[in-house]
Amino acid sequence: MHITFCCTDTKAEPWLAGLRAALPQATVTAWQAGTPPAEHAVVWAPPQQFLDEQRGLKALFNIGAGVDALLKLKLPPGVKVVRLDDAGMSVQMAEYVCHAVIRHFREFDGYEADVAEGKWSYRKPRLRADYPVGVMGLGVLGERVARALRQFDFPVHGWSRTPKAVEGVVCHAGIDRFDSFLASCRVLVNLLPLTPDTLDILNRKTLARLLPGGYLVNVARGAHLVDDDLLALLDSGHMAGATLDVFRTEPLPAGHAFWKHPKITVTPHTSARTLRDESIAQIAGKILALERGDPIAGLVDPVRGY
């Protein structure tokens, strides 16, 4: 069994060593142009040349949660695309989102600004009932985030394409429930996959449906958000702020309005990083299952895009 590794901007050696230790019966190599064909590939943002050469692949294992960039390429016929189920990312995402929501709700950003000016200030405590949080996308990451937010007694709503049930969360499903979902929320967390249907979904029309003083946390993809629409709603006062971890162009270009906007917190796509050891263990287990002919979790439907 031959496994090839082709991950852009990722140091190959630690992954190769880990995969060889987990699958000692396999040959594991880093891809270079013209290398022999493999049965399985571990990838992140591979070039089209890689896929054109590796026409006999059984499965592509994507080391990130999102597969939108991979699905834009022309894939070998019959290849399975497999995403990570979690691999340590869901707890990181829950940490990040809870921090962002609580920082806004408790007005810690305002206290930080006051302290920087030497001010000893006080703000009237807000009521959690006035800050319902909506989570767009109730997959592995979204469900973990929704459950974590409930631990802080926020009212939590969730929206997904198909019906889901999460204890303590008011779940909405389908496009016909999208508007009512938005109107129920003051804080909106985006964890949707990026597909043609969700491109630009965070726009002036949808964000304006949030309760007045809305707050956005985008940890999915930058292309979900129409940048100028968010800026307009922030400047009009309808939205109170945003925490953004993902952007249409990364790194975020110098001079972009998000860098210095007083109501926007920017982080460098760090909400949930791939953890190598956990990912290798999961990928190795799935490769062995596929070789046995057993079903695996995380198979991507190319038509749906996730």
φ and ψ at residue 113, rounded to 5 degrees: -65, -40
Which among 144, 269, 273, 276 is annotated as catalytic?
269
* Rounded-to-10 torsion of CA 208, 237, 157, 86: 100
Rounded to whole angstroms, the Cα distance separating 4 from 17 reads 12
Q: Which two tokens stand for residue 65?
A: 């949660």
Q: Which two tokens stand for residue 116?
A: 């920087």
Cα dist. 131→45, 128, 304 in Å? 38, 5, 32
Angle at 131 between CA 130 and CA 137, to 5 degrees: 145
Q: Widest CA span of the chain, in angstroms?
A: 66
Cα dist. 147→154, 156, 170, 245 in Å? 10, 9, 11, 21
Respond yes or no: is residue 221 known to be catalytic.
Answer: yes
Amino acid at 52: D
- The terminus-to-terminus CA distance of the chain in angstroms comes to 27
Contact (CB, 8 A) for 137 and 145:
no
Rounded to whole angstroms, the Cα distance separating 28 from 38 reads 9
Which among 144, 161, 221, 224 is annotated as catalytic?
221
Helices 12-22 and 276-292, axial angle in degrees (round to 10) = 50
Residues identified as active-site? 221, 269
